[in-house]
A and B are shown apart, each in its own frame.
Chain A
Amino acid sequence: MKLAACIKRVPDMELRFAIAADGKSLNPAGMKYDIADFDGYAVEVALRFVEQNPPGEVVVISLGPDGVQETLRKALGMGVDRAVQLKADEVPFDGMAIATALAAELRDGGYDLILFGRMATDSANQAVGPMTAQLLGLPCVTAVSKLEVAGGRGKAQRQLEGATESIEFPLPAVVTIDEGVARPRLPSLKGIMAAKKKPLEVKPAQLGEVRLNVVTMELPPDRPPGRIVGEGADAVPELIRLLQTEAKVL
Chain B
Amino acid sequence: MASSFRGVDFYNLDGLLSEEERAVRDTVRSWVDEHLMPVIGDAYIEGEFPKQLIPGMAELGLYGANLPEEYGCAGLNNVAYGLIMQELERGDSGIRSFASVQGGLVMYPIYTFGSEEQKRRWLPSLAAGKDIGCFGLTEPDYGSNPAGMITTAKETKDGWLLNGAKMWITNGSQATVSIIWAKTGGVDDVKSIRGFIVPTNTKGYTAKDQKGKLSLRASDTSEIVLQDCVVPKDAILPKSGGIKSPLMCLTQARYGIAWGALGAAMACYDEALDYSKNRIMFGKPIGQTQLQQVRLAEMLTEITKAQFLVLQLGRLKDAGTMTPEQVSLAKRNNVNMACECAREARRLLGANGILAEYHSMRHMANLESVYTYEGTHDMHGLILGQAVTGLNAF
Contacts and interface: CB of A to CB of B under 8 A. Distances in A.
> Do the two shown chains form a genuine complex with each other?
yes
Interface of A: 14-15, 70, 73-74, 77, 186-190, 192-193, 196
Interface stretch (B20-28, B37-45, B138-146, B162-170): B20-28
Contacts of B75: 190, 193
**Interface on chain A toward B: helix, strand, loop, or mixed SS?**
helix
Interface of B: 3-4, 6, 19-20, 23-24, 27, 30-31, 59-62, 65, 69, 74-76, 80, 84
B54 to A, nearest CB: 15
19 contacts: A14-B6, A73-B23, A74-B23, A77-B23, A186-B31, A186-B60, A187-B27, A188-B61, A188-B74, A189-B24, A189-B60, A189-B84, A190-B61, A190-B69, A190-B74, A190-B75, A192-B23, A192-B74, A196-B20
A205 B19 CA distance: 24
Contacts of A15: 6
A14 B62 contact: no
A73 B61 contact: no
Given A14-B4, A14-B6, A193 B69 contact: yes
Contacts, number: 47
Contacts of B60: 186, 188-189
Given A14-B3, A14-B6, A15-B6, A189 B19 contact: no
Nearest to B65: A189
B74 A70 contact: no
A247 B209 CA distance: 61
B261 to A, nearest CB: 22
Contacts of A189: 24, 27, 60-62, 65, 74, 76, 80, 84
Contacts of B80: 189
Contacts of A186: 27, 30-31, 60
A74 B19 CA distance: 10
A192 B4 contact: no
Nearest to B27: A186
Given A189-B76, A192-B23, 11 more contacts: A14-B3, A14-B4, A70-B19, A187-B27, A189-B61, A190-B69, A190-B74, A192-B20, A193-B69, A193-B75, A196-B20
Pairs A-B, 6 closest by C-beta atoms: A189-B61, A189-B74, A186-B27, A192-B23, A190-B61, A190-B74
B59 A188 contact: yes
A9 to B, nearest CB: 13
A193 B84 CA distance: 15
Contact of A192 (B3, B27, B30, B69): B27
B74 A73 contact: no
B27 A188 contact: yes
Contacts of B84: 189
Contacts of A73: 19, 23
Contacts of A188: 27, 59-61, 74
B67 to A, nearest CB: 11
A72 B80 CA distance: 20
A189 B31 CA distance: 12
A192 B6 contact: no
Contacts of B65: 189
Q: A70, A73, A186, A189 — which one has the most chain B CB atoms within 10 A of its CB?
A: A189
Contacts of B20: 192-193, 196
Contacts of B19: 70, 73
Nearest to A34: B26
